[in-house]
Amino acid sequence: MSTTLRSLAAFSLGALLAVPTAARAVNMTLEATKSDGGAVRVCVGLDSAGQKVAGTQNDLVWDGSCAALKPNSCTAVADSKKPLHGNTPPNLPNTYRALVFALDNVDPIRDGALYCCDFEMTANPECCAVKFDRLGVSDPVGTALPVSGQPPQLCLNTGAAAPAAAAPPSSNNAAPAPTSGTPWLWIGLIGAAVLVAVLLAARKRS
């Protein structure tokens, strides 16, 4: 093969490889809508960018000086067909940790809203911010996929993108963000879901 043909082949291969790489980015979405009574509903969703996503994890972090999460208000969106597992970690104030996955199946999640939470506004600054932290997504075999949040943060009182200066204050007690080599809880849970799905399939065949 000539040098020119080798160069063209390498260029073509590089172009083909570059397309899937760009397509692999998964986005977690964040939307806030204010009701007539002044309450705010925050919905977290998925934009899979064509990837198969079986489970998600994220922290919602908000400015506790101007908003409070209504107790037991976070619920899964029914047509996402994946249950919500969430809590407010005692060592992380103004934080709701959410995992969306099913132990009885590893079917890909459809794009759209996954769960919603209701907030009460306790003050009315120019921007009361909410943002993502500890984002993670997994494919049906438990492999972590690259993920980002769109938008990075919102103003609860307007639903518009928040300026960087309005980020919710971080807690001194917050655990450090996991590194790429640290196994996350949700990866183990997705792995357990894979095992359960395999066992159920084997039982049906027998």
Give the per-residue pLDDT at 169: 65
pLDDT tens per residue across span 177-193 = 333 333 345 555 555 55
**Per-residue pLDDT, 202:** 54
Tell me if 10 is assigned to some domain: no
pLDDT, residue 36, reads: 77
Residue 94 lies in a domain: yes
Residue 75 in tokens: 């619920």
- Alpha carbon 201 to chain centroid, angstroms: 28
DSSP per residue, 73-131: --EE-GGG-S-EEEE--TTSTTEEEEEE--SS--PPPPSEEEEEEEEEES---S--EEE
Per residue in 59-115, pLDDT (tens digit) is 999 999 999 999 999 999 999 999 999 999 999 999 999 999 999 999 999 999 999
Looking at the chain, the number of H-run helices and the number of E-run strands are 2, 12
Structure token digits, residue 18: 């570059």
pLDDT value at residue 203: 60
124/157 Cα distance (integer angstroms): 7
* Per-residue pLDDT at 53: 97
Tell me the percentage of the chain whose pLDDT exceeds 70: 69
Q: What is the mean pLDDT of the chain?
A: 79
- Per the structure, how many domains does the chain have? 1
For residue 30, what are the domain limits?
A: 24-169+179-205
Note whether residue 11 is domain-resident.
no
Cα–Cα distance measured from residue 154 to residue 174, given in angstroms and rounded to the nearest whole number = 21
CA dist 71 and 118 (Å) reads: 9
CATH number at residue 116: 2.60.40.680
42 beta partners:
32, 117
In a domain? residue 110: yes
Residue 76 lies in a domain: yes
Top-confidence residue, 175 or 198: 198
CA distance 49 to 139: 13
Within a domain: 16: no
Identify whether the C-beta of residue 72 lies closer than 8 Å to the C-beta of residue 64. no
Show the DSSP H helices in the chain as ranges: 3-23, 185-205
Is 109 domain-assigned? yes
Chain segment 135-150, per-residue pLDDT in tens: 999 999 999 999 999 9
pLDDT of residue 67: 97
Q: What is the pTM of this model?
A: 0.74
Alpha carbon separation from 43 to 73, 98, 160 (Å, rounded): 11, 12, 14
The whole-number pLDDT of residue 168 equals 74
SS3 state at 186? helix
Residue 81: inside a domain, yes or no? Answer: yes
